[in-house]
Structure 1
Amino acid sequence: MTYMYEYPEYLKIKLPKKISRRYPAYELYLYGEGNYAEENKNLLLTGIPVLFLPGNAGSYKQVRSLGSIALRKAEDIDFKYHFNFFSVNFNEELVALYGGSLQRQTRFVHECIKVILKLYKDREFAPSSVAIVGHSMGGLVARALLTLKNFKPELINLLITQATPHVAPVMPLDKYLTDFYTAVNNHWILKAQDVRNLTILSVAGGFRDYQVRSGLAFLPRSSQHNSALSVVSSAVPRAWASTDHLSIVWCKELILATIRAFFDLIDENTKQITDDPKKRLSVLNHHFVKHPAKLYAENPETLTELTGAFIWIKIKTSKWNYTVYNESDGKYFTFPLASHRKSYSHVHCQNSMLDTSSWIYGCVNSNSSMCLEGVDLSWKAELLPTVKAVTLKLQEYPFLSHLVVHVPSTNGNKFTLDCEFFKEDSRTVQLPVTHLFSFGLSSSKILLNSTGLIYNVQLQGFGQIYQAFKIYIEGQCQSPKERKHSIYRLHVPWSHEDLITVSKVPSLTEISAKLHIAQPENGSSVAVLNIYSTSYCQYEVTIKTSFLQVLGQLIRFHGGTLPVYVISNILLAYGGQLNTLILTGQCSDFALVLSRTARPYKVEPAVNIITFLLGFAWFKDVWDALFLPEMDAVVLNNQDVWFPLVSLILFFFGTGIAFWGGIFFSSSLRLLSSFWLAVTRPSGLPKDSRLVTPKRSCVTILLVFISWTTCGAFAILIIYLHYLFKVIKLHVNVRAEQRVLNAAPKHSKETSNNANKELIKNCHSVDRSGEAAKSLATSAAADEVVNSFNMHVTVIILLTWIMLLSFPSLIYWVKNLRYNIRLDPDPCRPMAIILVPALGILMNSSTTKVKSSKLLKIAAQFPLPLSVAVVAFGPMHLYREDVKVVRKARQTNQEQGKSETNSLPAPLFNMWKTVFLIFFTMLTLRGLVKGAPLRPEEKWKPLDNPRNRDLFFRTLQAYFSGRDLRKFPGTFSLNNDGSKPVTFYSDPIASAFADYEERKNSFPKYLRG
Structure 2
Amino acid sequence: MFMFRNCAVLVIIGSVFCFLIGILNLQVGVEKNACRMTYMFGEPMFARVRLQDKESELYPNYGLYYYYEGARQQPVDPLKKRMTGAPVIFVPGNAGSHKQVRSLASVALRKAMSSDAGIHLDYYTIDFDEELSAVYGGYLHRQHKFLKLCIRAIAKIYGSRIEEPSIIIIGHSMGGKLAQSMLTDSSIGQHINTIISISAPLDHPVLNLDEHLEQFYASTNTILNQSRTKTLATTTTNVCNSLHQRPLSEQQRRNQESSARLDNVLLISTGGGNRDLLVRPGYTTSQFNDLHAMTSAIPRVSLSCDHLSAVWCLQFMQVINRFLFSIAQTRGDGTVHFNTNKERNLQSAMAHFIKPRSRHQNIVKLPRDSNWHEERRLVINKYFSNGLKAHFYDLISIKRPERYRKLSIEALNVDDDVHWLFGCAAEQLNNTEQVYCDKAIPLTHLVQRLPNGDQDSRNVALLDLHNLMKTYRNWTHILVSLPSSNRRIGYNLDIYDPKERHVDISLPKWYSFGQRTAINETLQGTLHYRLRISNLIEPYQSLRVLVEPLQCLKPEYRVTTRICVPWAAGFERYQTLISPSDKPGLYVNVPIIIPPHYNTTINPVIVDLYLDPICRYRISYEYSYADALSRLVLEFSGWLPAHLACVLLIVLRKQVETFQVQGSFKSLKPYIGYLQYTSLLVVTACRILKKLILNTRVLPEPENLDFSINISIVIHCTAIGLSILASLVTWLSLTLYGNAFYRVALRVTRLSQASSNIMISIMTYLPITYGVLTIAMTLSTCSGIGLLLAFVFYFIMLSNAYKDYLEDYLWQKAANLLHLATGTRTSDESESSGQENNENALEKDADEDGSVRTKTDEDTCVGLQNFPFHITLLLMLFMQLLLSAPATLAWLRRHHSGVDLPDAGIYPTIIVLGSLSVLLQLRAPQKGCGYWALSIILYLISGIVLLYCQAAIYRLNYIFAGAFALLAAHQAISILVRR
- Indicate if the aligned counterparts of 2:195 and 2:266 stay in contact, CA closer than 8 A: yes
Q: How many angstroms apart in 2 are the aligned matches of 1:544 and 1:552?
A: 16
Instruction: Report matched runs for 1:3-22 at 5 Å.
Output: 3-16=39-52, 18-22=54-58
Q: How many angstroms apart in 2 are the aligned matches of 1:678 and 1:819?
A: 34
Identify the residue that residue 218 of structure 1 maps to in structure 2.
Answer: 285
Identify the residue that residue 790 of structure 2 maps to in structure 1.
Answer: 719
Q: How many angstroms apart in 1 are the aligned matches of 2:571 and 2:953?
A: 29
- Indicate if the aligned counterparts of 1:473 and 1:508 stay in contact, CA closer than 8 A: no
Instruction: Report matched runs for 1:338-377 at 5 Å.
Output: 339-340=399-400, 342=402, 344-368=404-428, 369-377=435-443
For residue 469 of structure 1, report the CA deviation from its aligned partner. 2.0
| 1:170 paired residue among 199, 206, 213 | 206
Instruction: Report matched runs for 1:35-74 at 5 Å.
Output: 38=74, 40-41=76-77, 43-74=81-112
Q: How many angstroms apart in 1 are the aligned matches of 2:743 and 2:482?
A: 86
Residue 923 in structure 1 maps to residue 923 in structure 2: no
DSSP-derived class of the 1:144 partner: helix
Identify the residue that residue 554 of structure 1 maps to in structure 2.
Answer: 632
- Return closer, same or farther for 1:326/1:445 CA change in 2, 3 Å cut-off: closer
Identify the residue that residue 304 of structure 2 maps to in structure 1.
Answer: 242
Moved more, 164-173 or 716-725: 716-725
Instruction: Report matched runs for 1:154-193 at 5 Å.
Output: 154-192=190-228
| 1:593 paired residue among 673, 684, 704 | 673
Identify the residue that residue 403 of structure 1 maps to in structure 2.
Answer: 478
Instruction: Report matched runs for 1:161-560 at 5 Å.
Output: 161-192=197-228, 194-220=261-287, 228-267=290-329, 271-291=336-356, 300-307=360-367, 310-327=370-387, 329-337=389-397, 339-340=399-400, 342=402, 344-368=404-428, 369-385=435-451, 386-398=457-469, 399=472, 400-411=475-486, 413-438=487-512, 440-441=513-514, 443-451=516-524, 452-479=526-553, 481=554, 483-495=556-568, 496-504=570-578, 510-520=585-595, 521-523=597-599, 524-560=602-638
TM-superposition CA deviations, 1:717-748 (whole Å, max 9, x none): 222222222222223465699965555699xx
For residue 422 of structure 1, report the CA deviation from its aligned partner. 2.5
Instruction: Report matched runs for 1:737-752 at 5 Å.
Output: 740=832, 742-743=834-835
- Return closer, same or farther for 1:647/1:563 CA change in 2, 3 Å cut-off: same
TM-superposition CA deviations, 1:532-584 (whole Å, max 9, x none): 12335322111111222222222222210101111111111111111121122
TM-superposition CA deviations, 1:78-113 (whole Å, max 9, x none): 571111111111111111111122122111111101
Q: How many angstroms apart in 2 are the aligned matches of 1:687 and 1:857?
A: 37
Q: How many angstroms apart in 1 are the aligned matches of 2:783 and 2:515?
A: 54
DSSP-derived class of the 1:397 partner: helix
Identify the residue that residue 663 of structure 1 maps to in structure 2.
Answer: 728
For residue 516 of structure 1, report the CA deviation from its aligned partner. 0.8
Identify the residue that residue 974 of structure 1 maps to in structure 2.
Answer: none
For residue 336 of structure 1, report the CA deviation from its aligned partner. 4.8
TM-superposition CA deviations, 1:150-191 (whole Å, max 9, x none): 634221121111111123111111221112212222222333
Q: How many angstroms apart in 2 are the aligned matches of 1:921 and 1:37?
A: 69
- Indicate if the aligned counterparts of 1:261 and 1:283 stay in contact, CA closer than 8 A: yes
Report how many residues are paired: 848
Q: How many angstroms apart in 1 are the aligned matches of 2:580 and 2:175?
A: 46
Identify the residue that residue 32 of structure 1 maps to in structure 2.
Answer: 68
DSSP-derived class of the 1:173 partner: coil
Q: How many angstroms apart in 2 are the aligned matches of 1:263 and 1:396?
A: 37
Identify the residue that residue 892 of structure 1 maps to in structure 2.
Answer: none
Identify the residue that residue 574 of structure 1 maps to in structure 2.
Answer: 652
For residue 441 of structure 1, report the CA deviation from its aligned partner. 3.4
Instruction: Report matched runs for 1:872-891 at 5 Å.
Output: 872-887=947-962
For residue 799 of structure 1, report the CA deviation from its aligned partner. 0.8
For residue 147 of structure 1, report the CA deviation from its aligned partner. 2.0
Unaligned stretches of 5+ residues in structure 2: 1-36, 229-255, 429-434, 452-456, 747-752, 810-830, 839-843
TM-superposition CA deviations, 1:268-312 (whole Å, max 9, x none): 5684222111122212221222236x6xx6xx2432333497322
TM-superposition CA deviations, 1:383-440 (whole Å, max 9, x none): 11230111222233332333222222223x11221223333223222233321221x3
For residue 239 of structure 1, report the CA deviation from its aligned partner. 2.0
One-letter code aligned to 2:320: T
One-letter code aligned to 1:418: N
- Indicate if the aligned counterparts of 2:669 and 2:864 stay in contact, CA closer than 8 A: no
One-letter code aligned to 2:466: Q
- Return closer, same or farther for 1:821/1:615 CA change in 2, 3 Å cut-off: closer
Q: How many angstroms apart in 2 are the aligned matches of 1:932 and 1:507?
A: 72
Identify the residue that residue 170 of structure 2 maps to in structure 1.
Answer: 133
Q: How many angstroms apart in 2 are the aligned matches of 1:755 and 1:588?
A: 21
- Indicate if the aligned counterparts of 2:323 and 2:348 stay in contact, CA closer than 8 A: yes
Runs of 4+, deviation exceeding 6 Å: 505-509, 676-683, 685-693, 735-739
- Return closer, same or farther for 1:814/1:798 CA change in 2, 3 Å cut-off: same
Q: How many angstroms apart in 1 are the aligned matches of 2:448 and 2:56?
A: 50
Unaligned stretches of 5+ residues in structure 1: 222-226, 747-751, 762-775, 889-916, 935-1009
- Return closer, same or farther for 1:645/1:489 CA change in 2, 3 Å cut-off: same
Instruction: Tell me the TM-score normalised to structure 2 length.
Output: 0.80
- Return closer, same or farther for 1:607/1:343 CA change in 2, 3 Å cut-off: closer
Q: How many angstroms apart in 2 are the aligned matches of 1:468 and 1:382?
A: 27
DSSP-derived class of the 1:339 partner: coil
Instruction: Report matched runs for 1:844-993 at 5 Å.
Output: 844-847=921-924, 850-887=925-962, 923-927=969-973, 930=975, 933=978
One-letter code aligned to 1:59: S
One-letter code aligned to 1:108: F
Q: How many angstroms apart in 1 are the aligned matches of 2:557 and 2:263?
A: 47
DSSP-derived class of the 1:862 partner: helix
For residue 691 of structure 1, report the CA deviation from its aligned partner. 8.7
Which of the two has higher C-alpha Rg?
A: 1
For residue 449 of structure 1, report the CA deviation from its aligned partner. 3.0
Identify the residue that residue 1005 of structure 1 maps to in structure 2.
Answer: none
DSSP-derived class of the 2:593 partner: coil
Higher relative contact order (CA 8 A, sep 6+): 2
Identify the residue that residue 710 of structure 1 maps to in structure 2.
Answer: 781
Q: How many angstroms apart in 2 are the aligned matches of 1:82 and 1:838?
A: 63
- Indicate if the aligned counterparts of 1:590 and 1:790 stay in contact, CA closer than 8 A: yes
Identify the residue that residue 112 of structure 1 maps to in structure 2.
Answer: 150
For residue 485 of structure 1, report the CA deviation from its aligned partner. 2.5
DSSP-derived class of the 1:91 partner: coil
For residue 135 of structure 1, report the CA deviation from its aligned partner. 0.7
- Indicate if the aligned counterparts of 1:23 and 1:108 stay in contact, CA closer than 8 A: yes
DSSP-derived class of the 1:715 partner: helix
Q: How many angstroms apart in 2 are the aligned matches of 1:745 and 1:121?
A: 87
DSSP-derived class of the 2:301 partner: coil
- Indicate if the aligned counterparts of 2:375 and 2:397 stay in contact, CA closer than 8 A: no
- Return closer, same or farther for 1:735/1:214 CA change in 2, 3 Å cut-off: closer
Residue 584 in structure 1 maps to residue 584 in structure 2: no
- Return closer, same or farther for 1:435/1:170 CA change in 2, 3 Å cut-off: same
Q: Alpha carbon RMSD of aligned pairs, Å?
A: 3.6
- Indicate if the aligned counterparts of 2:119 and 2:330 stay in contact, CA closer than 8 A: no
Q: How many angstroms apart in 2 are the aligned matches of 1:507 and 1:195?
A: 50
DSSP-derived class of the 1:811 partner: helix
One-letter code aligned to 2:181: A
Q: Percent identity?
A: 24
- Return closer, same or farther for 1:342/1:871 CA change in 2, 3 Å cut-off: closer
For residue 348 of structure 1, report the CA deviation from its aligned partner. 2.2
Identify the residue that residue 92 of structure 1 maps to in structure 2.
Answer: 130
Q: How many angstroms apart in 2 are the aligned matches of 1:253 and 1:581?
A: 65
One-letter code aligned to 1:375: I
Identify the residue that residue 983 of structure 1 maps to in structure 2.
Answer: none
Q: How many angstroms apart in 2 are the aligned matches of 1:569 and 1:686?
A: 36
- Indicate if the aligned counterparts of 1:475 and 1:507 stay in contact, CA closer than 8 A: no
Moved more, 605-614 or 674-683: 674-683
Identify the residue that residue 998 of structure 1 maps to in structure 2.
Answer: none
DSSP-derived class of the 1:535 partner: coil
- Return closer, same or farther for 1:505/1:512 CA change in 2, 3 Å cut-off: closer
